[in-house]
Structure 1
Amino acid sequence: MLQNKAFLLLLLSFLLFLNCKEDPGIDRKLPALIQEDNSIAYAEGFSITNHDNFKVLTINNPWPKAEKTYKYVLISKENAAKTSFMKDEYDGIIIIPVTSIVVTSTTHIPALELLNEENSLIGFPGSDYISSEKIRQRIDDGHVRELGKNEGLNTEVLLELNPNVVVGFGVDGTSKSLKTISNARIPVIYNGDWVEKTPLAKAEWIKFFGALYNKEKQADSVFKTIETNYKAAKQLAQTVTERPTVISGAMYKDVWYLPNGTSTEAQFLKDANVDYLYADTKSQGSLALSFEAVFEKAKHANLWLSPSYYSSMEALQTANTHYTQFDAFKDNAIYTFANTTGKTGGVLYYELGLSRPDLVLKDIIKICHPDLLPDYQTYFFKPLK
């Protein structure tokens, strides 16, 4: 009898459980606390995760072989006042939108302009390298402070400026200056755009800045325009059947340095549909070859792009008379971006080229397949005079 009562009680409990489980008045969906931002298509060095009232910006690879992943909370001032975070869970908490910023590489400058946030820049190391006309005017007006050299920032001035955030550029994460700034409770974010492997991946870092300024939609729109232009130029280049042979680089002391076949520079040449003579090489960093090895392979190359820092044919010949034996030298078919500079001497390519790969690709196509873009004027590359 007791066994029957126990069985009935068990059955009744089970039925009640089933009825409660099927009760349409009970909300059994877990709240969507986290949502990955899937709009990053090319860049591998950063990601953005959306939470209920804040975002997390993750930097995966700020420099080659980086062993640490950096995570930063991006949160509004209002939400920061009512949200707490575990100590040491994040590398920094940044109030957005950012209103004052220090960046440390000229490659960061174009993103500020493209997002209409150039007025937020208040400090920069080596400001003479900046070519942007808008920011040069701000420098001349005293709105952007000089911070010395990247490898040894003037921390006294930087601490006085007290920006919302410092966007750092590091090759190994050992900058004592940036650690001093971070210890002073000024957030430091390492930007790894230069580590990316393709032109569009580098350009996509504008979305990194879009997150800081709470302008993700604008950043996405800007990037889509650049991406569309780049793809259109690449597709146009594929229509040609004749591919000129191309050589690059020049000697430094006793070594000729050239882009390896997996580099961003080689990707530009591939997308421009040219025959880069070292396209099949694979290595870490630049190729380092002897003059004899390069001359044997490339003496009859149709075009010579980016002959290091040389600004004229005369300077090239003075450095090494053997350069004159290349067909590209004899045919005046050498092109450089080194002579396209801002008013204080900063090379525009080093500032803007990373953010505008569509312009770089069009330049190369214009040089290598001039009939494809008859009305286009090169932006960075000019004939070596």
Structure 2
Amino acid sequence: MMDVSSRISRLFYIACAALTILLAFMLIFSKDAVQEGVLAGEKLAMRHSALLDIVDGDGYSAVEVMNPWGQGLLKRYLLVPSDSVLPEDLPEGVVVRTPIKKALVLSGVHVALFEELGVAGSVAAVCDAEYVYSEETVNALSKGEVVDCGSSLDVSMEQVAVASPDAAFVLPYENGGYGKLEKVDFPLIECADYMEISPLACAEWVRFYGRLLGKAAVADSIYDAVCDEYDVLRRVASKGWPRPRLLCELKSSSAWYVPAGGSTMGRMYADAGADYLFSHCSGSGSVPLSFELVLERAADADVWLVKYNSGVDKTYSSLLDEYEGYSHFRPFKEKNIFVCNTREKRLFEDRTFHPERMLKELVALFHPHLLPGYELRYYERMHQ
């Protein structure tokens, strides 16, 4: 009897366990079904972006921006045409009426994109106007047609009220906020494109911005052309040999910030056929190093690239005045430093959404024989 009783008890516990597992699966699939229902529609195939999901639903498009600093969502945007009524079954998210006609844009990089998409007139206001170099917007600022809202770190809400924007394009930072802009009654578009980990992933955000501005087809066409050209140049660069040892940037105060190997620039240097001397540094941003560590690893570099923003050109003499230690690097001794004054050149504006242009420049710098006749558009040899 004990054997029969034990067997029955054992079967009972097995049945309970099976039922528990079945219920768990039902909950999981039920949650998935709800999630799929929330974003029901045609999901766009993202070619490179790890942070964007775009689904075209019935009467709206849902755009999910993943959190670059953790798990889950940073934001979900629900793009609803301005000439349509709001669908009753909208999921939770930030409603954005499209196309956006009056935007507050906090970054000159995104101002340039408005111009390329043919909607420069939709820039109603900017911050940090001194770093906006796009010709149409600079002219509009001078005529008072675009409102200057001051510093992006201390936005003038009085000027924002004058501009009366439909939305603001802002830059998110880890554990950061938006100050007074958090209290506005218009949507904040969090432009986390710079947190992508490859040049083509970053550039793919043009597809999101195109949908916000009523230029989806134009944006998709631009991105397809960017990918095609980038892939061609990457194959060309793979034939370059030897790979020049590369050093980048300058010492800043007590640290020398170099792009990590997994950053967009670290990856682009590799794609361009360089032996980037700090590719071993982990991360997707910049890494602070001491001057001594940089000198130890890069004293015998072949090429040195420097970006700066100034009304005065950098020279070998001015570098020595800044820090005598620069003279110990081989590119300094052999006059093989290339500089880009971003006040005069559109490097940042082009690099974000046209990485193929930057890649072509780098291939020409590292392997000039592969692109004969190419004239540098961003960098130039530093003068004595």
TM-score, normalized by the shorter chain, greater than 0.5: yes
Q: Partner of 1:319 in structure 2?
A: 322
* TM-score where L is the length of structure 2: 0.83
1:52 maps onto 2:58 in alignment: yes
Is residue 168–residue 178 contact of structure 1 (8 Å, CA) maintained in 2?
no
In structure 2, the CA distance between the partners of 1:298 and 1:32, relative to structure 1 (3 Å rule), is closer
SS of aligned partner of 2:84: helix
CA distance in 1: counterparts of 2:358 and 2:263, whole angstroms: 15
Q: Partner of 1:140 in structure 2?
A: 142
CA distance in 2: counterparts of 1:38 and 1:56, whole angstroms: 11
* Counterpart AA for 1:356: H
CA shift for structure 1 position 138: 1.6
CA shift for structure 1 position 33: 8.5
Determine which of 62, 78, 86 is the counterpart of 2:83: 78
Deviates more, 1:289-298 or 1:43-52: 289-298
CA distance in 2: counterparts of 1:135 and 1:78, whole angstroms: 27
* TM-score where L is the length of structure 1: 0.83
Q: Partner of 2:25 in structure 1?
A: none
Is residue 155–residue 180 contact of structure 1 (8 Å, CA) maintained in 2?
no
CA shift for structure 1 position 69: 3.0
* Counterpart AA for 1:106: G
CA distance in 1: counterparts of 2:215 and 2:100, whole angstroms: 10
CA shift for structure 1 position 291: 2.1
Q: Partner of 2:125 in structure 1?
A: 123
CA distance in 2: counterparts of 1:287 and 1:76, whole angstroms: 43
Identity %: 25
Query: Which deviations, in whole Å up to 9, do the C-alpha atoms of 1:260-315 show, x marking residues without a partner?
Result: 21111111110011111122221464232222222222111110112666822222
* Counterpart AA for 1:330: K
CA distance in 2: counterparts of 1:138 and 1:319, whole angstroms: 37
Q: Partner of 1:303 in structure 2?
A: 303
* Counterpart AA for 2:206: I
CA shift for structure 1 position 119: 1.0
1:36 maps onto 2:38 in alignment: no
CA shift for structure 1 position 195: 0.7
1:175 maps onto 2:181 in alignment: no
* Counterpart AA for 2:76: K
SS of aligned partner of 2:352: coil
CA shift for structure 1 position 316: 1.1
* Counterpart AA for 1:324: S
SS of aligned partner of 2:338: strand
* Counterpart AA for 1:71: R
Structure 1: where are the runs of 5+ without partners? 1-30
SS of aligned partner of 1:148: coil
* Counterpart AA for 2:209: F
Determine which of 329, 332, 340 is the counterpart of 2:332: 329
Equivalent residue pairs, number: 343
In structure 2, the CA distance between the partners of 1:315 and 1:307, relative to structure 1 (3 Å rule), is farther
* Counterpart AA for 2:87: T
In structure 2, the CA distance between the partners of 1:308 and 1:142, relative to structure 1 (3 Å rule), is closer
Query: Which deviations, in whole Å up to 9, do the C-alpha atoms of 1:116-152 show, x marking residues without a partner?
Result: 0111101001111111112212212221110111122
CA distance in 1: counterparts of 2:284 and 2:370, whole angstroms: 34
SS of aligned partner of 2:235: helix
Query: Which deviations, in whole Å up to 9, do the C-alpha atoms of 1:305-347 show, x marking residues without a partner?
Result: 126668222221111212112110111111122x2424xxxx6
CA shift for structure 1 position 350: 2.5
Q: Partner of 1:276 in structure 2?
A: 276
CA shift for structure 1 position 79: 2.1
CA distance in 2: counterparts of 1:254 and 1:378, whole angstroms: 32
Is residue 103–residue 168 contact of structure 1 (8 Å, CA) maintained in 2?
yes
SS of aligned partner of 1:336: strand
Is residue 360–residue 379 contact of structure 1 (8 Å, CA) maintained in 2?
no
Greater RCO structure (CA 8 Å; 6+ sep): 1
Deviates more, 1:250-259 or 1:206-215: 250-259
CA distance in 2: counterparts of 1:329 and 1:111, whole angstroms: 36
SS of aligned partner of 1:335: strand
CA shift for structure 1 position 197: 0.7
Deviates more, 1:32-41 or 1:235-244: 32-41
1:229 maps onto 2:235 in alignment: no
In structure 2, the CA distance between the partners of 1:159 and 1:68, relative to structure 1 (3 Å rule), is farther
Deviates more, 1:115-124 or 1:208-217: 208-217
Query: Which deviations, in whole Å up to 9, do the C-alpha atoms of 1:241-277 show, x marking residues without a partner?
Result: 2111111122222322211211111111100111111
Is residue 335–residue 381 contact of structure 1 (8 Å, CA) maintained in 2?
yes
CA shift for structure 1 position 57: 1.9
What does 1:110-259 align with in structure 2 at a 5 Å threshold?
110-171=112-173, 172-181=175-184, 185-259=185-259
Determine which of 348, 353, 367 is the counterpart of 2:365: 367
CA distance in 2: counterparts of 1:76 and 1:243, whole angstroms: 50
Deviates more, 1:111-120 or 1:300-309: 300-309
CA distance in 2: counterparts of 1:59 and 1:294, whole angstroms: 36
SS of aligned partner of 1:57: strand
In structure 2, the CA distance between the partners of 1:206 and 1:307, relative to structure 1 (3 Å rule), is closer
